[in-house]
Amino acid sequence: MTNDMTSFARDLERRMLDIRDKLPHFGAPRIRDLSKLRYLVVHHTASHENTTPAELAREAFLRFKWDGISYHFLIYQNGDIYLTRNPIELGACVELKNTPSLCVACVGNFSETQPSDAMILTLADFAAWALACYQTIEKICRHSFFKETECPGINFPWQSFASAVRERMRGVPRIFTIEGGQ
Ligand SMILES: [Zn+2]
């Protein structure tokens, strides 16, 4: 925990459940240099909203031969948040940009359904936490910023999320941008 952490970020850290040891692993993860982090990247899992972290880890292995879950954090519709991969381990979530990316996925398919307010507010708290913990992150963006994809879904309320992040960071001397001009 760092000193300039906002109350939003502190609350988020208390709520975050570390389930890394409970997930299946399929080999050794690749370690990266955390000082190279530049992006906080938001995804949806494009799966059913009740898909479990273990199911996502197995699918990442079966489909992509990855060593386990591709995302570092997962957020559910009820606002639960899980740490699923150590941020020092390379994720498999942004093609050609995995090294500078910290990845969080909202569980569900938000081209077909809507994320709840609880999910979006938890994501905004999480962004405030990540900006405090990882000072080299300079931009918050959607997966679609890097690649032609609908991820995190065409119904994802990006502007509401961006406003919620700005609200949480008000008065905090931390320079960053949010994709979409805010
Ligand atoms: Zn994605």
Give the domain CATH number at 85.
3.40.80.10
Q: Is residue 116 part of a domain?
A: yes
Contact present, 94 and 104 (Cβ < 8 Å): no
Please list the residues that pair with 69 across neighbouring strands: none
C-alpha 132 to ligand 1 mean position (Å): 23
Q: Is residue 169 part of a domain?
A: yes
C-alpha 42 to ligand 1 mean position (Å): 7
C-alpha 146 to ligand 1 mean position (Å): 10
C-alpha 135 to ligand 1 mean position (Å): 23
Q: Is residue 2 part of a domain?
A: no
Q: Is residue 1 part of a domain?
A: no
Smallest CA-to-CA distance from 152 within 42, 50, 66 is with 42
Smallest CA-to-CA distance from 134 within 26, 34, 4 is with 34
Q: Is residue 61 part of a domain?
A: yes
The pLDDT score that the predictor gives to residue 165 is 97
C-alpha 31 to ligand 1 mean position (Å): 21
Total domains in the fold of the chain: 1
The pLDDT score that the predictor gives to residue 49 is 97
Residue 20 has which token pair? 């890394």
Q: Is residue 101 part of a domain?
A: yes
Residue 163's Cβ-side half-sphere holds a number of Cα atoms within 13 Å equal to: 3
pLDDT by residue for the chain (182 residues), tens only, comes to 455 678 989 999 999 999 999 998 888 889 999 999 999 999 999 999 999 999 999 998 888 788 889 999 999 999 999 999 999 999 888 989 999 999 999 999 999 999 999 999 999 999 999 999 999 999 999 999 999 999 999 999 999 999 999 999 999 999 999 998 65
Contact present, 167 and 123 (Cβ < 8 Å): no
The pLDDT score that the predictor gives to residue 5 is 78
d(CA 102, CA 134): 9
The pLDDT score that the predictor gives to residue 182 is 54
C-alpha 9 to ligand 1 mean position (Å): 24
pTM of the entire structure?
0.95
- The range of the structural domain enclosing residue 51 comes to 7-178
Contact present, 58 and 159 (Cβ < 8 Å): no
Q: Is residue 31 part of a domain?
A: yes
